[in-house]
Structure formats: C-alpha cells, structure tokens
Structure 1
Amino acid sequence: MITLFTYSFTYLDLVLVALVAVFIGMSKTGVHGAGMLAVPLLATIFGGQQSSGVLLPILVLADVMGVFYYHRHASWQHLRLLFPWAAAGVVAGTIVGSYIDDKMFKVIMAIVILVSVVVMLWLERGHKEAVPHNKTFGVATGVLGGFTSMVGNLAGTVMAVYFLSMRLPKNTFIGTTAWFFMVTNWFKVPFHVFAWHTISWNTFLLDLLTLPFILLGAVCGIWIVKRLSEKAYRWFIIGMTLVAAVFMLR
C-alpha cells in the first residue's frame, strides 16, 4: 500500500487514477466517450459520491486545456440558453445527492450512461428530425445536464445527445462542450466543498499529481479527433460511451 495525502492506494489503484486522468484529458479535446470510461474506474477506488469529488478537480484542470484549444469554435447561442438551467440542475443534484447512498449513486450513473447510449443510437439511425429544436428542449437538457453533472459527473452523455441532435460541426461541437463544462464544473466546486464535503486540500493536492497524465490525454485526444471524419467521430463517441456503460454494470 502507498499513502498519498491521507489516501491509501495499491499499485493498481495508482495506475487506474493515472488512466482516469488520461481519459479525462482525451475527453476535453474531443474524445467525449473517454470521460465516461473514467467515471466507473474512479468509482471502483473511492465509491460513488466520493469519486465525484475526487474527479471534479481533474475535470476543472482539464477544462482549461479544452477551452484553450477550441475556444474559438463555441456556439454561444446554445450556451446562453443552457447555462442558467444547468445551474438549476446542479442545485437539484446537490439536494438529491445529500439523501442517497453510495449504491444508489452507482445505479444512477449506470442508468444515465445506458439511456444516453440508446438515445444516441436512435439518433444515428435517422431520427434526428424527431428531436425538438425549441427552447423547451434546451431548457430540459440544461437541467438534466446540470443534475447528471453533479450526481456522478456524467453530463457528457446528456450534452452529447443534445449537441449531436443540433447537428453542430465537429469543432463547434467540441468547443461548445468545452465551454459548457468549464463553466458548469467551476460552478459545482463550492457545492462539493461546503455541501457534500467531497473536496479538500488533500483531494486537490492528489489531483495536481495527475496533471502530466491529463496533458498526455489531451494530446492524444487532439491526435484522434484530427484523424476522424464527422460520421466516424459520432460513432466513436457512441462506441466509447457504450463501453463505459458495460463497465459500470459489471
């Protein structure tokens, strides 16, 4: 066993934490399904709610990289609609998360991933026209995105469904997603610190050690995205998300 900042790890645990950081770096530069893989990996080490607090500073650090690289491609028309409703979802998620146990956290994580995979497959089979392109749909997505982001850091699948249905070009998809999560994740920090007590100085110091692996993942993500066509990119997201769902239900 190895002790770091009051946390005790096996060597396998440390490898998994490093792998999580690589996946998060990849997700912030376009390989969004990789972020879904990170969630169940970290949950096996820390449990459901505690892992969401450990993961959040990693996400915050990686968000800066994603926005730095893709900031020019954001669709602010969509972001202006989503931000206030995502904030409401975060508050709702904080309240609900205060009353559920760790087992229920994992159940919610698995359900969110599986439902998102089903919806994305449905969209790819030619049903995009059936998705509403109105304010009500955007409001509902914002609330659900904020809620699932707070309860499990799993809004990536929710927002992927929304932005894919909006038919945003690849770089605009990535840039808009990067801005959405940077703002939302920073907004979540006080709730984790003062309401759930899942982030402490020890958590932050531990996550700082993952910076080299986040950078590695970010570079890998840029390399992958540049080599995928629009259609291949959408199927890549769906495939990575499906792998995460299967892993969570093991």
Structure 2
Amino acid sequence: MQMFHMLNLSMYQWLWVILAAFFLGFSKTGISSFLMPAIPIIAGIFGGKESTGIMLPMLILGDAFALYYYNRHAEWGNIRKLLPWTIVGLALGVLVGNYVNDKQFKIFIAISVLICLFILIYTERKGEDFRVPQNPVLYALTGMLCGFTSMIGNAAGPIFSVYLLAKGFKKNDFMGTTAWFFFIINITKVPLQIIFWHNISLQTVFFAGSMIPAIAVGALLGVLFIKKLNENLFHRVILLVTAIGAIKLFI
C-alpha cells in the first residue's frame, strides 16, 4: 500500500521529489543548507512521519557520497563530545513522534526547520563575531538539539554546521566531521524508526534507490562547484524557498 502510494505520484510531485533528492545530494558535498528545502518538500508530499522514513535512506545514500570525498577529514573529539547527548535527543524525538498525529508531526517538522533557519540567519548576520563558548552545557544542548531535530525532521544540519563554523573549522575538516557525524546518527535512526515508527520498509529503501541518480548528480555538482558558487546569493534563495516550504506545513 505504501509502495503504491509512493509510485502513484503525479508528474508534478515526481519533479519535486527529484529536485529534493538533488538538493539532498548537493547538501552532503557542497552547501549544507541546500538540504533545508528538501525537508518540507518531502513532508508536503508524503506526510509528516512517513516523510522521515522516506528521507532517511536517501540521507544515508547522500552520507555515503560525502564519506567517499571527505572521509579522511574528521575531528573526532567534537563528535565524541556530542554523540551521547545526541542519542538523548533522538530518544526524545522518538517519544514525541509516538504521541502526535500527522498534522502535528508536520508542525514539529516546520518548527524544527524554522528554528534552524533562524540560527542560520542569525549567525550569518553576526559573521566572524559569532563564537561558541567552551562550556559542557553547550555540548549537551547542541547534542540534544541535533538529535531531536534530526529525529523529528532530519533538520539538524544547520545546528551542527553553526557549531562547527563557530569553532573555526576549515572547509575539509568541516565537511569530513559533518559527514561522519550524520552518517553515525542516520544509521542509528534506522532501527529506531523501524521499531517505534514503522515507517521504513523495503519499499522506502527501493524508493530511495530510485533517487540515486538525482542524489549522485547533486553530490558531484556539490564537489565541483563549492568553490565557485556565490554562496551568499544561493543561501538567500535557499532560505527563502525553505521558509515558504516550512510555512506551508502549518496550513
């Protein structure tokens, strides 16, 4: 039934899904904020909780491309500090997801996305003046926020990106640390979503596999063009598209 629903999309919906898969691939090897519009696109087509199960295998495929290009560049100290708290955030996300209906779930996704958008906009405005204090409480808060927003809406990218940028990470270390962190988190989410949310099946994996060409093209272009893109212009476009998509989830 789920597979029939996924394949019974209109041409218009297929185009949006393919675009979302392209954004996902590009975000993994290029500009991470490109993932943001993919989240409300998929949620708007498939529904709240179901969309997270459809996106997760696609995200893991994107992680594989990112690890292929950046696997040797990772700062494991920061990953180890955040992981225990991120697991706590994942558990909170599972609990919340069990007690809300689909409309409420989409609202949680929209709120997660908008919070991440606010963080992106705020840190861009602060520029080099933005710093992260060395505080154990901050590690706990960042980890739990990453876990919760990742579980509810696959929207933890901006939170983790801001954390790394504020700590002064350079491009390759930034990309490698991000790739490993989210690969570990996304793999951890698979059994949680299968056991507690029942929204990952062979059909969702098959559907993700059908998106490999779009994800691969996005990942390749992310690697090729990350140095040449006008990041400020693209960030503004992505922020606008994401805001519109997130607001639509409230309707």
TM-score normalised by L of structure 2: 0.90
Partner of 1:190: 191
Shift of 1:75: 1.4
Deviation readout 1:136-164 (Å, 9 max, x if unpaired): 21121111101110001111122122122
- Choose 182-191 or 95-104, whichever is displaced more: 95-104
In 2, the alpha carbon distance for the partners of 1:148 and 1:113 equals: 8
Structure 2: gaps spanning 5 or more residues: none
- Structure 2 letter corresponding to 1:218: A
Alpha carbons of structure 1 residues 88 and 234: separation in structure 2 relative to 1, 3 Å: farther
In 1, the alpha carbon distance for the partners of 2:25 and 2:81 equals: 26
Shift of 1:122: 2.6
Shift of 1:220: 1.2
Shift of 1:21: 1.2
Structure 1: gaps spanning 5 or more residues: none
Shift of 1:238: 6.4
Deviation readout 1:75-112 (Å, 9 max, x if unpaired): 11211111121111111100111101222222222222
Partner of 1:175: 176
Equivalent runs, 1:50-199 vs 2, <5 Å? 50-126=50-126, 128-129=129-130, 131-199=132-200
Corresponding position: 1:243 with 2:241: yes
Partner of 2:49: 49
Shift of 1:30: 2.4
SS in 2 for 1:226: coil
- Choose 3-12 or 83-92, whichever is displaced more: 3-12
Contact 1:120 1:238 in 2 (8 A): no
- Choose 62-71 or 234-243, whichever is displaced more: 234-243
Partner of 2:215: 214
Alpha carbons of structure 1 residues 9 and 90: separation in structure 2 relative to 1, 3 Å: same
In 2, the alpha carbon distance for the partners of 1:177 and 1:236 equals: 20
Corresponding position: 1:223 with 2:224: yes
In 2, the alpha carbon distance for the partners of 1:173 and 1:238 equals: 21
SS in 2 for 1:6: helix
Shift of 1:18: 1.3
The aligned length equals 245
- Choose 169-178 or 38-47, whichever is displaced more: 169-178
In 2, the alpha carbon distance for the partners of 1:5 and 1:38 equals: 20
- Structure 2 letter corresponding to 1:245: A
Structure 2 counterpart of 1:5, from 3, 6, 15: 3
- Structure 2 letter corresponding to 1:93: G
Shift of 1:212: 1.0
- Choose 240-249 or 55-64, whichever is displaced more: 240-249
SS in 2 for 1:199: coil
Contact 1:90 1:147 in 2 (8 A): yes
C-alpha RMSD over aligned residues: 2.1
- Structure 2 letter corresponding to 1:16: W
